[in-house]
Amino acid sequence: MPATVVIGTQWGDEGKGKIVDLLAADADVVVRFHGGNNAGHTLVVNGEKTILNLIPAGVLHPGRVCMMGPGVVIDPEVLTAEIDALRKRGYLGEDRWLRVSERAHLIMPYHRAIDRARERLRGAGKIGTTGRGIGPAYEDKMARTGIPVGELYDEAGFRDALARNLREKNGYLEAILGEPPLSFDEIHARYGEYRERLRPFVTDTGVELRAALAAGKRVLLEGAHGMMLDVDHGTYPFVTSSSVVSGAAAAGAGLPPRAIERVIGIAKAYTTRVGSGPFPTELTDALGERLRADGDEYGSTTGRPRRCGWFDAVVVRQAVALSGVDGLALTKIDVLTGIDSLRVCVAYEIGGRRRELPPATQRDWERAVPVYEELPGWRESLGAVRALADLPANARRYVRRLESLVGAPLTILSVGAQREQTIRCDAAFAA
């Protein structure tokens, strides 16, 4: 049975955790295909909040196999802590429910040290990285000096790789970044402990995943960031270090492209962004503060307040086109309740010219002025609504206009944080 991909269509934090958790009820295998613990997914089930940084959001459904594919970078300290926390709450009852790719790359202590030091030295020009070491880990992967998870189980190979890398990284940390060197013995001992902790889960996930598909299992591929943070297609350099679009899901999970049948794009009913970078529709006034407060817009991983603004159809339209989005999952529409007049950005004006697609250069992003369309708001509460027909007329009008502007039909509408506060328009998997 073909796989379904879930991606974010904005700058992340669109509500992917809730949507993946929802779709995982109908899946057999849920796969994270890129990113690291710089992404956090927040789930609220039976009033209890769960924040996941690495393990796919299907973990709250017993019996689902959660995989971390070769496209992921893994901090074993974070992963083992997450496993322990979930098991204390009764999840991950069997080792076979979590599979970690032997080809995924390790985040090392020197990656975190370099990440934080670089950001400090950037000063006012900082990118807004989480300091988790994700970027430097991907750098090493592309430079062919990274250490895959599977290398942990070749003791001599791991020791040689760590010694070689640490000589280079310590020189860079001391001479260029002004940071103290790191201890080989300390890192070697610590990662030896992680080796044993992770041993039950590490495998060739690509082989297992392809076998699952061949056996007719339902596979859900989980994206970790929003499309505008894609290293190739986002607001560079204010982006993440991996490819976010649906085209990256096959390689990052270990599947042939033809294995993917459906792409669901997630968008918030307004727009948010964490960290630095362009944000044409940002609201820096009381209304922006209201959206942040009512939407609980604080980073799942970092706790940083999110910047808030009006829905930007320009960026979502681009995501729909780039990833071939078949259906749109719209979240947090309930947060807009009580705002009498809503704005939607339908285009940008840059240098006197109207643009309906995102610009390519940083300078043009800085000059982009949103072109707005006004839509009437509503005052009725949406939390108990379970059918599109029962939405207030202006809420239905808002949803339909967004569908038209971005070029994708609505498949899911979230009207609250709880799992059950959701309107389903169709199935995520073929019958």
Active-site residue among 13, 21, 115, 326? 13
How far apart are the C-alpha atoms of 413 and 268, rounded to whole Å?
Answer: 10
Spell out where 57-159 has E strands: 65-68, 73-74, 98-101, 105-106
Instruction: Respond yes or no: is residue 160 known to be catalytic.
Output: no
User: How far apart, in Å, do the first and last CA atoms of the chain sit?
Assistant: 10
Structure tokens at 152: 């942990």
In terms of Cβ atoms closer than 10 Å to its own Cβ (0-12, 13-18, 19+), residue 214 is exposed
CB 370 within 8 Å of CB 310: yes
The token pair that represents 273 in the structure block: 């962004």
- 188 is annotated as an active-site residue: no
| Closest by CA position to 375, among listed 317, 410, 333, 407 | 333
How far is residue 19's CA from residue 13's CA, in Å, rounded to a whole number? 12
Residue 322 — φ and ψ, nearest 5°?
-70, -35
Nearest-5° Cα angle at 142, 136 to 146: 65
Question: Among residues 41, 105, 225, 233, which one is catalytic?
Answer: 41
**Active site (catalytic) residues:** 13, 41
